[in-house]
Amino acid sequence: MENEKDLSNYRKVYQKSALDQKNVPQDPITLFQRWFYEVEQSGSVDEVNAMTLTTIGLDGFPKSRVVLLKRFNENGFVFFTNYNSEKGKAIAANPHVCVSFFWPAMERQVIIKGTAHKLAENLSDGYFESRPRGSQLGALVSNQSEPLESREYLEDKLKRLEAQYEGKEIPRPDYWGGFTVEPHSVEFWQGRPNRLHDRLLFKLGDDFNWEIIRLNP
């Protein structure tokens, strides 16, 4: 084919670290925190909190896009969006989602399957208030995922809103807020030589304890 490019010779040797089951904590959030800060402190990733969110759309197809993790704790992983967006509507119809992190400089991936729940309104309010005014106005300007007649229309709408809220507090719109992804399973992937990668799966049991399973690479 005229535009075909053969990538079969792309090769990488994975050898920067290992993942030993004897040395990991008994819950995935603690291990995620350790990995997150190791990547952050390495300075090797521009946005260590960038994660790929996959939902099942209203058309029945999966769709993935990059969003930003804004908080994580024992309850799960938090991001913010327009609830009327394509992903917001997809989550409303099917809250089972997958989020994943890929940190190539550290040869690591984390894959999280879970259920997304709307964040409490007061917590969404608090985060919205912390955003720069430009980002606050952006949430009001954009009918996210809907057709747009032109870039000029969007910029004109922004100018009108800037004038409307000059010197005033910008309220969080009801259709904008956070989701918490409550994990059901968390897989940690560490690249190893000869493609014999380390994979540890934390799986939540019926007793709400985590089972740790080593998977074949």
Contact 171, 102 (CB under 8 A): no
Q: Which of 133, 160, 195, 214 is catalytic?
A: 195
Letter string b/e over residues 166-176, b meaning 16 or more CB atoms within 10 A of that residue's CB? eeeebebeeeb
Residue 150's pLDDT is 95
Q: What are the tens digits of pLDDT across the range 136-177? A: 999 999 989 999 999 999 999 999 999 999 999 999 999 999
202: domain range? 21-128+175-214
Residue 44's pLDDT is 87
Secondary structure of residue 77 in the 3-state scheme: strand
195 a catalytic residue: yes
Nearest in space to 80 (alpha carbons), one of 128, 122, 33: 128
pTM here is 0.90
**Residue 194, in any domain of the structure:** yes
Residues 6+ apart with CB under 8 A from 101: 50, 51, 52, 108, 109, 110
**Residue 136, in any domain of the structure:** no
CATH at residue 46: 2.30.110.10
Q: Which of 16-25, 119-128, 133-142 has the lowest mean pLDDT?
A: 16-25
Span 212-217, mean pLDDT?
A: 96
